[in-house]
Every structure is written in C-alpha cells, then in structure tokens.
C-alpha cells in the first residue's frame, strides 16, 4: 500500500501534522468521489474500523478501489475491491481474476503459510447479496480465508470480496454512502503502519536480530525475480560449459505470466500506468540478474541471507519507494539503467573512439554500482 497524491501547500505552509493528515484525507475523498463506477462496501456484518486500503489510476482515471471493514492486520475483516467494467489491468472474460492467486497474495500480506491449502481449498458457484439482491458469484475458501468474484447485474462494475474470520454467508454489500470515514481511515492505517514499524525497529535494536517489515503483498515481484535469477544462472552455466541455452515453450509462457502479474502488482502498489510499471519491473529484474552474473558474493551460499535481503530491498525500493539501506546502490542502478535509453544524435554515427569511450563509461558505472553493493554487504 502506497500513498500518492498531489496538491500544493497553503502559502504560509501547513500548521502541523494534523493539517497534513486532513489535507491528504480530503484529496483521497475527492479522488474517490470522481469514480465513474459504483463503490461497494460491506453492509453486514458490522465491522470497524473502515479504511481505503488501495486504489489504482490508469491514464489518470480511477479504475480500482479497495475498501475494508474490520481489522486489516488481524481480522475479522471484509475487503471489497470495486473495479471498472473493463479496465484496471484485468481481463474481461469469465476468469478475469484467478481466485487462487488472489488468496495467495492475501496470505503473503498476512504472512500465513499456505502449505496445506490444496487439501482444504473449495471453489465453486455461490451467491452474495448486493444492494439487497442475491448475485451469482464464484467463491473460493482456504481455511479462514475466502475470496469471491462477481459482476454487478447492470454491468457497471466488477467486485472482488475477500473475507477473514467472517463466513461469506454472513456478508452483504451495498453502495458506500459516506466516503469521508474511508479517506480518514486510510491515514489512520498509514499511521498505525508507521507505529508498528517503529516498534519493530526498537525490538530489533534490543535483540540485534532481523525483524521483517509489515507485509505489503509483494509476492508477484518476488516470484518473477526468483524465476529470472534462476534463468540467468542457467544461461550462465550453459555458456561457461560451451552449450547453447535452450528454453521450451512452457518456460516462455511461465515467464510471460509471471512478468505480467508483477507489472500489475507494480501498477497497484506504485500507482503507475502499464508502461511505467513495465519499465520499473524491467529495471528491477535486470539489476538482480546483473548482481547474480557480475558480483562475487550474490550466488555464494555463505551469503544467501544477504542475497535475499538484496532482493527484498530492491523490490521494496521499486514497488514502494521504500527507504532501504541499499538506496545508494539502487539510485546508481537507476542512473546506469536509464542512461542506456539515451538516444544518439539524429543521423550521427559513432566513431570507433566514441564507441570505446561509451563502453568504458558503462564499465565504470557498473564497477561503481557493484562497489556500492559491496559497501552495503560489508555493513550488514
């Protein structure tokens, strides 16, 4: 979850944190009010608090809104995602959202193991009451978690409903009547996240141990990075053995599927459009693959924890603009990566000396970037 909003401060500046809090909530409320599709929330059971937890803009248009009732951290809770009829990065066929993947993402956020989920999973037709009328849905249950997918009868929106600690039979949905509590609840939720992270930092300082940050649903980025690192290692091994790296059709299909899911997750978390998210994911994957290929520590089993931390920080920097310890290396990679897109002068051809200079500069940039990662490693 990431807050992104514009606006300018008053001429004399804000009066204090409360003014910033109210200003952010007001901007969120204004954005929600501009939705071109209906926004739904749980009307039963009665759960509190309420909050806006996610939204997505595509080409400046609001296409996805997630509103939650209940305890977002521990449950019980019901989350309702309202999507525009045919946008927001989702397809428009019958299976426009894979329920198994949605529950996997929710477990990742909650850090709940899914080892036994196949034995307890049930998926099939169901009904949810929406605006007082039973509406056909597809529902999947996995233990205490469940998710349902449905379309409004008038076709004006699609809904995804996720429940934890609440039976789907108890849930009814209706149109949101007052947006203010959700916008204000978002700021309260962000404040609670800050408090929780500060508490974990204090525990970490006392114990000198490693404390994980609040889970924010980064599973798709991780799956893609793991896949691409394994692929880079496979190719490197084949080349060193003087063999031709060969990949089957299934390998390419899996790569494409993982890539698109990571791009959609980047859109959701960073508020980027599809092309921007694709560029962000491309830079992320190439940085980790380059670390695997060019550093002398990343693939060393003795540094497995450090490699995992490097991946985690890179993902958080990309998806959440997180304040990570490896920020100097992250920024160096961004400069190096985007310099590859600089066009040559129209009609100009590089001389051999100019080409040699470009290669030298690229190698120097890579060396500096690797040195920053070594500094990060030494400080762990």
Domain count of the chain?
A: 2
Domain-embedded: residue 279: yes
Residue that is last in its domain, among 155, 183, 211 = 183
Same domain, 122 and 44: yes
Same domain, 168 and 288: no
Q: Is pLDDT of 346 > 60?
A: no
Query: What whole-number distance in Å separates Cα of residue 67 and Cα of residue 171?
Result: 14
The mean pLDDT value for 364-370 works out to: 87
Report pLDDT digits (tens) over 307-329: 989 999 999 899 888 788 999 99
User: What's residue 103's pLDDT?
Assistant: 84
Same domain, 161 and 101: yes
Query: What whole-number distance in Å separates Cα of residue 192 and Cα of residue 52?
Result: 14
Q: Is pLDDT of 216 > 90?
A: no
User: What's residue 168's pLDDT?
Assistant: 96
Domain-embedded: residue 194: no
Q: Is pLDDT of 373 > 70?
A: yes
The alpha carbon of 49 is separated from its chain's Cα centroid by a whole number of angstroms, namely 23
Question: What values do phi and psi take at 229, rounded to 5?
Answer: -65, -45
Report the alpha-carbon angle 310-311-316, nearest 5: 100
Domain-embedded: residue 249: yes
Same domain, 43 and 140: yes
Residue that is last in its domain, among 183, 200, 230 = 183
Which of 96-110, 129-143, 217-231, 250-264 has the weakest average pLDDT?
Answer: 96-110
Q: How confident is the model at residue 304 (pLDDT cuts 50, 70, 90)?
A: confident
Q: Is pLDDT of 52 > 50?
A: yes
Same domain, 95 and 27: yes
Report pLDDT digits (tens) over 6-20: 233 333 343 444 555
Best mean pLDDT range from 147-161, 187-201, 290-304: 147-161
The mean pLDDT value for 33-39 works out to: 93
Q: Is pLDDT of 46 > 70?
A: yes
The mean pLDDT value for 248-258 works out to: 76
Q: Is pLDDT of 284 > 90?
A: yes
Containing structural domain, residue 276: 219-341+355-378
Query: Which of these, 152, 156, 178, 245, lies nearest to 32 by C-alpha position?
Result: 178
User: What's residue 109's pLDDT?
Assistant: 72
Mean of all residue pLDDT scores within the chain: 79
Report pLDDT digits (tens) over 143-189: 889 999 999 999 999 999 999 999 999 999 999 999 999 999 888 87
Report pLDDT digits (tens) over 217-250: 688 899 999 888 887 777 666 656 656 555 556 6
Q: Is pLDDT of 210 > 60?
A: no
Exposure of 352 in the CB half-sphere (CA atoms within 13 A): 0
Domain-embedded: residue 208: no
Same domain, 136 and 242: no
Domain-embedded: residue 24: yes
Which has more confidence, 365 or 244?
A: 365
User: What's residue 15's pLDDT?
Assistant: 44
With a CB cutoff of 8 Å and minimum separation 6, the contacts of 141 are 120, 121, 122, 123, 168
User: What's residue 3's pLDDT?
Assistant: 26
DSSP conformation letters of 347-371: T----HHHHHHHHHHHHHHHHHHHH
User: What's residue 40's pLDDT?
Assistant: 97
Domain-embedded: residue 163: yes
Which neighbouring-strand residues pair with 50? Answer: 69
Same domain, 257 and 373: yes
């Amino acid at each position: 979850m990431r807050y992104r909003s514009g606006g300018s401060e008053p001429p004399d500046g804000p009066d204090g944190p409360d003014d910033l809090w109210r200003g952010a909530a007001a901007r969120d409320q204004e954005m929600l009010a501009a939705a071109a599709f209906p926004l739904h929330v749980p009307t039963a059971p009665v759960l509190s608090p309420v909050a806006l937890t996610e939204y997505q803009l595509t080409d400046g248009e609001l296409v996805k809104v997630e509103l939650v009732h209940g305890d977002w951290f521990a449950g019980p809770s019901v989350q309702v995602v309202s999507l525009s009829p045919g946008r927001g990065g989702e397809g428009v066929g019958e299976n426009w959202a894979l329920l198994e993947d949605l529950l996997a993402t929710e477990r990742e956020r909650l850090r709940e193991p899914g080892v036994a989920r196949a034995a307890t999973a049930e998926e099939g037709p169901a009904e949810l009451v929406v605006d007082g009328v039973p509406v056909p849905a597809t529902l999947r249950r996995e233990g205490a978690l469940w998710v349902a997918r449905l379309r409004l009868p008038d076709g004006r929106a699609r809904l995804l409903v996720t429940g934890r600690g609440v039976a789907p039979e108890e849930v009814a949905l209706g149109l949101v009547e007052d947006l203010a509590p959700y916008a204000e609840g978002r700021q309260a939720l962000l404040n609670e996240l800050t408090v929780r992270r500060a508490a974990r930092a204090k525990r970490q300082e006392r114990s000198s141990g490693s404390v994980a940050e609040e889970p924010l649903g980064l599973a798709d980025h991780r799956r893609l990075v793991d896949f691409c690192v394994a692929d880079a290692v496979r190719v490197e091994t084949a080349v060193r053995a003087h063999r031709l790296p060969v990949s089957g059709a299934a390998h390419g299909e899996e790569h494409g599927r993982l890539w698109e899911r990571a791009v959609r997750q980047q859109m959701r978390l960073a508020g980027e459009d599809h092309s921007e998210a694709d560029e962000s994911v491309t830079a992320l994957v190439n940085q980790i693959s380059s670390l695997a290929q060019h550093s002398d520590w990343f693939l060393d089993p003795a540094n497995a924890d450090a490699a995992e931390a490097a991946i985690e920080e890179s993902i958080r920097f990309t998806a959440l603009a997180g304040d990570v310890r490896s920020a100097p290396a992250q920024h160096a990679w961004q400069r190096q990566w985007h310099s590859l897109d600089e066009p040559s002068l129209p009609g100009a051809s590089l001389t051999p000396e100019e080409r040699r200079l470009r290669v030298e500069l690229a190698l120097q940039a890579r060396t500096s970037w690797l040195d920053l990662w070594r500094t990060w490693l030494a400080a762990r």
